[in-house]
Structure 1
Amino acid sequence: MTKRIRAKYKIDRRLGENIWGRPKSPINRRESRPGQHGERRMQKLSDYGQQLKAKQKLKGYYANLNERQFHKIYVEASRMKGSTSELIIGLLERRLDAVVYRAKFVPTVFAARQFVSHGHVLVNGRRVTVSSYRVKVGDVVEVREKSRQLPMVLEAVKSAERDTPDYLEVDHGRMTAKYVRVPTLSDVPYPVHMEPNLVVEFYSR
């Protein structure tokens, strides 16, 4: 489990972007980086710096995956046919916690990871507690009946902060989400510009 749950907005400030698009992000009020030297003007990033930032931004967005998990996804994508950068996005969006978040069953991707690990989610009728579980096209993800009245779930469903993407068929009445297809980069509703091509360049140096 990530250690960034309580300090997730430090990621926003360190990267200088509101990567989840949350209205409570401190970057909306103060654009400086955290720490006593955060007010200093940032220098122009080198090519390596831009690649590193792209990797940190994408890795941080998915509940701050650890380096081992993220590199494993890159290696898997690089062995598949097609655009590695697009395949990375597809693999990330097939994670169960990502699907739960996209379906608006919970308010944040960090909450989605915890929600799955606490046993509130079923996949094709079976309980799954592994947030990195890989959802396949046609799979149906649903919130357990006993968990549907949790305040966090009710708040997320009613929130107008974000919409559900069209690669999921979501029924909030039944609290189900069918995974229709694997998305490409342009399909994913990131609040900020993601550059998986720079992630590929970073790892292929």
Structure 2
Amino acid sequence: MIEKDGIVLSDSWFEALNICYNMALWYMKHGAWVSAKDEVKDSEAKTAHCCLKKAAGLFEFIKEKTDLLCGLDDFPGNDFNMNVIKSYLNQSVAEAQEIAIARAIELQHSPSLISKLATETARIYNEIDNLLEKFNPSTFEKWRCYAQLKNKFYLSYAYCYRGEALLAEDKCGEAVRSCKEGIKCYKEAQEICVK
């Protein structure tokens, strides 16, 4: 006889969340593929941004539902580890913000706005690096290197545009100092590229 109440099994949630995971990864990769051209049209940028937002939403859903899975904590660095899910979620958000920054630069928005967006994006990439540092370096080193590179790159953007905003306010000394910090971050990004 079939019971009135349904039975919740972690196996079915595992399968459902795996499908969501694969969809989220597809949206991330599709967004990257759409925006990987030299000249990205407005419609393509919107498509990429939308894909990355959908990926972030799916990772948020997965993050909320992982407590329904049992026994996965025994495997550090697995796909359903909370730090890995948060890293994917943060990467989706950060890559969507990269599109917003590129659009803001193209439309010549205020340098202080671009600086704030770049600072927030750098912070998110730094958080990804911090979330992944606990795991096996042989598995996660390239991902961490990517996050460190993006962190330094967007910090250099932030300092550069902050310097431009300060220069517009006739704060030349602070503008020069900010630009020097930007150059320092850019050189650190170059060193990461050599790794």
TM-score by length of 1: 0.28
Which of the pair has the greater relative contact order for Cα pairs under 8 Å at 6+ separation?
1
Q: Counting strand residues as a fraction of each chain, which structure ranks higher?
A: 1
TM-score computed with the length of structure 2 as normaliser: 0.29
**Structure with the higher helix share, 1 or 2:** 2
* Higher gyration radius (CA): 2
